[in-house]
Chains A and B, each alone.
Chain A
């Protein structure tokens, strides 16, 4: 019973860590917006989270279904933001396998090639950054809600 509660927490924690890492990648892109030859990078959050979820032992059943391609409402809710983002960004996979804990890094496909071969589109990066911040905060709230639930269950008030 308790491992189910903490399993959800662990899943949310993985999601939070991945969000923080994506935030860092996007910050790197923004920092290098004027650097010649810099190639903007990103990773597929949905895929990375699915990998992380598969790695955790004792993941709650609801979260496991996220990794399968079933039509559960949870899966749709989680896949949509990244699917919507993917329509605008279209990734090219980077050669080289990713380690188990690190998400596979991808290069962003430039929509408007530049003379200095920099592929950062500042508008897109800023939009992604704002989007990722919002989702990071959402995850924080999920964790807070989870903790509150567990605490009220323990207190029995």
Chain B
């Protein structure tokens, strides 16, 4: 039944968007961190979405996260010789997270999440009404 496939399609989108939200959350959490456990500064991460066939029908296209990539732009360098992680020249490398970008990404992900939840609600209501057909 086509209406129940919608739950699968939108479910995949909801899961992908929540993963995106997770990545945004870890980026924001590390926006001010200067060094990770490996001694290097945190790099902003980003999810990669890809359309994925959700059934034999060409009309059913879900979405999935294929990869989580790291932003390669160099982090900000601050001159702070008193910092314990400062290098020989007295510079501290911060994470390359752009907080404004992350906030925009967060809002976008949250909107998409809501949209898909609404789609699932509508599909569920329609399916329930279809079950009551002829009564």
Contact = CB atoms under 8 A, between A and B. Distances in A.
Interface string A33-75: 1111110010000000000000000000000000000000000
A140 interface: yes
B116 A30 contact: yes
A30 B14 CA distance: 11
Interface residues of B, number: 36
A140 B116 CA distance: 24
A144 B122 CA distance: 20
B123 interface: yes
Interface residues of A, number: 32
Contacts of B69: none
B85 interface: no
* Candidate in A37, A122, A140 with the most chain B CB atoms within 10 angstroms: A140
Contacts of A130: 122
A24 B133 contact: no
B6 A24 contact: yes
A144 B9 CA distance: 29
B51 A24 contact: no
B130 A140 contact: yes
A8 interface: no
Nearest to A130: B122
Contact of A28 (B3, B49, B59, B108): B59
A79 interface: no
Nearest to A33: B112
A21 interface: yes
Interface string A1-39: 000000000000000110011011101101111111110
B126 A137 contact: yes
B8 to A, nearest CB: 9
Contacts of B109: 34
Interface stretch (B23-31, B35-43, B60-68, B94-102): B60-68
Nearest to A146: B134
B59 A24 contact: yes
A147 interface: yes
Contacts of A102: 57
A41 B61 CA distance: 10
Contact of A34 (B54, B112, B122): B112
Interface of A: 16-17, 20-21, 23-25, 27-28, 30-38, 41, 102, 105, 122, 126, 129-130, 133, 136-137, 140, 143-144, 147
23 contacts: A21-B2, A23-B3, A24-B6, A27-B6, A28-B54, A30-B10, A31-B9, A31-B61, A33-B115, A34-B109, A35-B49, A35-B50, A36-B49, A38-B61, A105-B58, A105-B59, A126-B115, A133-B126, A137-B129, A140-B129, A140-B130, A140-B133, A144-B134
